[in-house]
Amino acid sequence: MLQALLELLYPPACIACAKVMPVRTAFCETCDVAVERLPPARCRTCAEPGTFPRDTCPRCHLSPPPFSRAWAPFAHEGPVARAIHRFKYEDHPELAPALAELLASECCQFLSRAPALLVALPLHDRRFRERKYDQAQLLAGELARATGRETRVGLLTRARETRRQVGLSEAERAHNVAGAFTASRSAAGQEVLLVDDVLTTGATVRAAATALREAGAARVEILTLARAFSLA
């Protein structure tokens, strides 16, 4: 009865276009057919889409990242990009459980070999006060709940405020986030799965993974909902 009442008050809706649906599922039929999954051809380290020599993109070849591997099930296009935008910028924190369930169901193989400790890529305190929630922390918490894993707040913090990365060149992105994160000494010896919404050039996760490795983390891997085509 409680579930029926909740669905009457908050009927199931598409996470991308908000269309009300008769049953609870992530996307409506129209959005579902437009979802783009990451193509099989990609960098084996950072999941950059494309065909590369030895399956290693130029970015990872010239500057090997401080993380072991990164993965995302979807391309940052269409309905997935719209769902992330709604979640992140349009005040829809309630989308976290649906997005986490989607991530868990799409990433079973990756998660089977990934670290059990989930750590969200954190917002700066001022950005958190503006937004009222940290979307990556919500996503990591719901993913931990969906997969029976542990998530830990405070292991990684954003030590200084940075500009939004949107619209910056790759060099500007790297400079913007250099030294922006601090990891707790309790990261020493830990194997960490760093969780965020979108991976683009990887500048932010590189900076975060560097902080974790400098604090003694044994291994860092990256999991995001979507991967942008940043070398096209």
Residue 2 has what pLDDT?
A: 54
CA distance 115 to 70: 12
CA distance 85 to 103: 16
Residue 6 has what pLDDT?
A: 52
Q: Which CATH number fits domain 43-227: 3.40.50.2020, 3.90.960.10, 3.40.50.261, 1.10.1060.10?
A: 3.40.50.2020
Cβ density class 6-26: b for 16+ within 10 Å, e for less: eeeeeebebbbeeeeeeeeeb
Task: Report the share of the chain in percent with pLDDT over 70.
Answer: 91
CB 78 within 8 A of CB 35: yes
DSSP-derived pairing of the beta strands 74-75 and 191-199: unpaired
Give yes or no for residue 188 having a pLDDT over 90.
yes
Q: Tell which residue, 175, 171, 149, has the closest CA to residue 163.
A: 175
Under the banding of pLDDT at 50, 70 and 90, the label for residue 174 is confident
* 47-94 residue pLDDT tens: 999 999 999 999 999 999 999 999 999 999 999 999 999 999 999 999
List of residues 6+ apart from 84 with CB closer than 8 A: 76, 99, 197, 198, 225, 226
What ranges do the domains of the chain cover?
A: 1-34, 43-227
pTM, full prediction: 0.90
Residue 5 has what pLDDT?
A: 54
Residue 11 token pair: 């009927």
Cα-atom radius of gyration of the chain, to the nearest Å?
A: 18
| Plot region of 132 (φ>0 → left; ψ -120 to 50 → alpha; else → beta) | left
CA distance 182 to 204: 13
Treating both helix axes as pointing N-terminal to C-terminal, what angle do 78-89 and 96-106 enclose, rounded to 10 degrees? 140
Residue 8 has what pLDDT?
A: 55
CA distance 175 to 103: 30
CA distance 52 to 44: 9
SS3 22: coil
